[in-house]
Structure 1
Amino acid sequence: MVTVRSVVALAAYEGWYIYQINVHNAFLNGDLLEELVGYDPVIVLVYVDDLIVTRSNQKLFCDTRQEIQKKFKMKDLGELKFFLGIEFSRSNKGILMSQRKYALELISKSGLGGAKPTCTPLEMNQKLTSIQYDEHINNGIPEGDTILADITKCQRLVGKLLYITMTRPDLAFSVQVLSQFMHCPKKSHMEAALRMVRYINEAPGLGLLMPANDTNKLTAYCDSNWGACVVTRRSVT
């Protein structure tokens, strides 16, 4: 999925068109030519049985599609709109990637369609701990925070939350924190996961914009919290 985002970002910046092709029972292997004599470059991204083709030269795109048609049965799906649960919409500002349909299904299956949304993915100053930490530091699991009878339910939910981080970087930190406890999740971990779903419910259509303007400048943010992680005593902000 990182490759998908990179290709979409490149197409947005360069102003290339992106098309999607469904190839039936095809597994393609080959080298990607970065430079072709007489043509602008074309990128073909292979993912399962779908291809994403982005191009800046109309003739090269048509030639590429015809070559694929000679060897495989395929269906031209037109301009990229929906791919692996991700919706794509284009404007003069760039290409917006969102998972609104996936988010609404996640909210519905979690039974939180009518729940009150939250403004933060994790509760302020909440300290999630593991079973080992409770046994050695807290002298046992705190009352009311028992191990889940069905741990797979929490694991599946966190897995779904992990996938939605493809277009929701605001959830990335919270999901990776919760992922540390999936070998033996407790009630507090499940509650934290459900809170993230309620946070998504506040703006299910929120997505990631790949801008059309110059994005060569890399901007990073950092903060030091002086050992906020109760397990490792490291700065994790």
Structure 2
Amino acid sequence: MKDLGDLKYFLGIEVLRLTSGIILNQRKYILELIAETGLSGAKPDITPLECNTRLTSIEYDHATGAKGDELLSDIFSYQRLVGKLMYATITRLDINFVVQALRQFMQHPKKSHWEAATRVVRYLKNSVGQGVWLKAEPANTLTCWCDSNWAACPNTRRSFTVYAIHFGESLISWKSKKQYTISRSFAEAEYRSMASAVAELTWLVGFY
């Protein structure tokens, strides 16, 4: 065994130590992702997803002119990009929702899905050094925020469960995921979201 000193970089995650706490970010990983995608000279975006955008699996029908767009010819590039974005969610809570939506189309991506994925990369370019802040202070309280987005998925009409849990002022757990079953009301979707958050809290309390 060899003592390598304080942890500074591990599996793409940078650890910045300050007297007031620790910052975990993926700055180097994201810069490499931007360069690999060919967006080094692109203009950064201020949001990871355009307002009111709903990604669907509906294709464009040339015969009838039905709404939608064509399938992407290079499926591998889309799968690779979304896979890398999924890894970036380790320290980037702000892209969790849109990446969760993009990974639903890994088998049959369309041009609109590729454009949405590259927009996420341009958004990351606007805040490369952002990450998770773990404050160095005594803490003994868990705080949880949870919400749901009723019938938000246009393909399955399923709702989304979203929650964030803080230990003191430090964010330690978060989730944005489509619910397994269809909720028939907004209240039902909210209860499912709360049940998921409470289950996570119960597991965390077991560490005390």
Deviations 1:18-63 (A, max 9, x none): xxxxxxxxxxxxxxxxxxxxxxxxxxxxxxxxxxxxxxxxxxxxxx
Instruction: Measure how far apart 1:212 and its partner are.
Output: 1.7
Question: TM-score with structure 1 length normalisation?
Answer: 0.61
1:135–1:194 distance in 2 versus 1, CA, 3 Å: closer
Residue 114 (structure 2) pairs with residue 187 (structure 1): no
Partners of 1:140 and 1:216 in 2: CA distance: 56
> Of the candidates 63, 66, 70, which is equivalent to residue 146 of structure 1?
70
Which residue number in structure 2 is paired with residue 121 of structure 1? 48
Residue 13 (structure 2) pairs with residue 89 (structure 1): no
Partners of 1:168 and 1:193 in 2: CA distance: 15
Check conservation: 2:82, 2:99, Cα contact below 8 A: yes
Report SS of the residue matched to 2:102: helix
Residue 94 (structure 2) pairs with residue 167 (structure 1): no
The residue identity in structure 1 corresponding to 2:86 is L
Q: Once superposed, which parts of structure 1, at least 4 consecutive aligned residues long, lie more than 6 Å away?
A: none
Number of positions where the alignment pairs a residue of Structure 1 with one of Structure 2: 158
Question: TM-score with structure 2 length normalisation?
Answer: 0.69
Check conservation: 2:24, 2:131, Cα contact below 8 A: yes
Check conservation: 1:128, 1:189, Cα contact below 8 A: yes
The residue identity in structure 1 corresponding to 2:11 is L
Residue 4 (structure 2) pairs with residue 77 (structure 1): yes
Partners of 1:93 and 1:183 in 2: CA distance: 45
Partners of 1:215 and 1:104 in 2: CA distance: 36
Report SS of the residue matched to 2:22: strand
Check conservation: 1:98, 1:167, Cα contact below 8 A: yes
Which residue number in structure 2 is paired with residue 49 of structure 1? none
The residue identity in structure 2 corresponding to 1:194 is T
Partners of 1:155 and 1:141 in 2: CA distance: 26
Instruction: Structure 1: state its 5+ residue gaps.
Output: 1-68, 70-74
1:215–1:95 distance in 2 versus 1, CA, 3 Å: farther
Instruction: Measure how far apart 1:100 and its partner are.
Output: 0.3
Instruction: Measure how far apart 1:183 and its partner are.
Output: 0.8
Instruction: Measure how far apart 1:114 and its partner are.
Output: 1.4
Instruction: Measure how far apart 1:102 and its partner are.
Output: 0.5
Instruction: Measure how far apart 1:135 and its partner are.
Output: 7.9
Which residue number in structure 1 is paired with residue 147 of structure 2? 222
Check conservation: 1:97, 1:209, Cα contact below 8 A: yes
Higher alpha-carbon deviation: 87-96 or 160-169: 87-96
Partners of 1:149 and 1:106 in 2: CA distance: 21
Instruction: Measure how far apart 1:117 and its partner are.
Output: 0.9
Report SS of the residue matched to 1:220: strand
Which residue number in structure 1 is paired with residue 131 of structure 2? 207
Which residue number in structure 2 is paired with residue 232 of structure 1? 156
The residue identity in structure 2 corresponding to 1:99 is Q
Identity of aligned residues (%): 53
Partners of 2:140 and 2:87 in 1: CA distance: 25
Which residue number in structure 1 is paired with residue 192 of structure 2? none
Bigger radius of gyration among the two:
1
Which residue number in structure 2 is paired with residue 197 of structure 1? 121
